Structures are given as C-alpha cells and as structure tokens.
C-alpha cells in the first residue's frame, strides 16, 4: 500500500466526551464502568489488551493477552511463566497494558509493576478453563521453537488420550500475574484530534487526576 493511501486513512471521533469533573475519583471504578460499557456495546473481546514488557537488553516487546480479573486494585492475566513475556517480567517487573475499544472510540493505558499470583489462585482459574484450553496450555511450551504444526497437534492428541476431562494437571510453569498500576490514562476520541485524556497518578495513598493535552 502506498504512503499516500495510508496518510488519507483517518476518522473524526465524535461519539462521547470525557471531563475530569465527570470521572470517578477511583480509577478502578472508572475502568469497570468503561469495561461494562464496552461489553454492552458488544465490542469484540473487550478484555483483550496489549501487554508491553522490556527484556534484559532493554528492548521492548508487545503482544495481546486477555484480562481475566480485577482484584485488589490490580489487573490479572495468565500465561506461561517460561514464555518470552514471562522471562521479561522475571528480569524487569515494569510493564504496561493498553485497551482499545474502537467502537466506543476509547483507549485505556495502564503503567505499573507485575508480580505472580499464588499457585492456589492460578489453580482455581485453571480449573474453570474449558477442557481443550487446559490441554492447550499443557501442550504448548510457549515461545519455544517447534518443527511444524503437526508436532503440536500430535502432542495435543497424546495429552487428550492421557488426560480425561477434569483430570488435566496445571503445568508447573503456568499461572497468573497481577499488574499493580501506578498510572492509568483514559482516552476518549474527539473531533479535530482534540482528544480527551484524563490521567490518574498514584501519589502516596491517593490518586491525582489531571487532564493532558491530546
């Protein structure tokens, strides 16, 4: 695609507005409100979020993961601890999340630090997953190189024969993380690129609210 065509791709946002006088003083309640509105608007996979990490060489990496919990002022997701993102987080717990709900012309950015949740909490969630998702977690040595697709499918079939439904063990290197935010920014698209940006920053035990220039 030519640059000229890319440069002409643009939308003028006008569905909603966001003002610092209207937002909840608690950023988690504000997030829950927006998440509920995204669900009601039938945004595809509204809990999909970009997770950004930094490796040992200070190189950033991003990928999309799914939010699976809002607990004790933190955002919870699950993955393979031996994956590339798991290795990044082991070396550098600083991370960022980003939600994009285009149908509502909204974005939420979250910066903070990550820590593992307890094995018991991970086990409880793992048991709620669909049977084949449990098998998939066991079959995948996430981020490791494999020879081909058939290799994965064969391993999956072997595990399916070995473990009946309800008997799949949670992988030892699989579990959850919680990201504890230090800053949360709510972005609402507006006309003429004069977007609304309301940022919460944690100062001591309180959240300071400020408006940012678009």
Name the catalytic one among 63, 191, 193, 211: 193
Distance CA 209, CA 197 (A): 10
Question: Cα dihedral angle (140, 65, 171, 154), rounded to 10 degrees?
Answer: -20
200: enclosing H helix or E strand: strand 196-203
Q: Is position 193 annotated as part of the catalytic site?
A: yes
Sign of dihedral through CA atoms 71, 43, 133, 171?
negative
Residue 16's SS3 state is: coil
Active site residue ranges:
193
């Amino acid at each position: 695609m030519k640059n000229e065509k890319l440069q002409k791709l643009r939308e003028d946002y006008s569905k909603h507005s966001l003002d610092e006088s209207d937002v909840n003083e608690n950023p988690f309640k504000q997030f829950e409100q927006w998440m509920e509105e995204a669900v009601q608007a039938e945004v595809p996979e509204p809990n999909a979020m970009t997770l950004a990490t930094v490796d040992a060489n200070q190189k950033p990496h991003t990928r999309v993961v799914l939010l699976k919990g809002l607990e004790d002022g933190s955002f919870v997701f699950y993955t393979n601890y031996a994956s590339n993102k798991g290795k990044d987080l082991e070396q550098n717990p600083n991370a960022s999340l980003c939600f994009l709900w285009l149908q509502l012309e909204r974005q939420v950015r979250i910066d903070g630090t990550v820590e593992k949740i307890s094995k018991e909490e991970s086990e409880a969630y793992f048991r709620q997953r669909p049977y084949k998702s449990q098998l998939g977690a066991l079959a995948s040595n996430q981020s490791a190189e494999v020879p081909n697709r058939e290799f994965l499918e064969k391993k999956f079939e072997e595990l399916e024969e070995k473990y009946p439904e309800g008997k799949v063990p949670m992988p030892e290197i699989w579990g959850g993380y919680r990201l504890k935010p230090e800053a949360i920014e709510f972005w609402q698209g507006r006309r003429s690129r004069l977007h609304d940006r309301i940022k919460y920053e944690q100062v001591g035990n309180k959240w300071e609210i400020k408006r940012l220039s678009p």
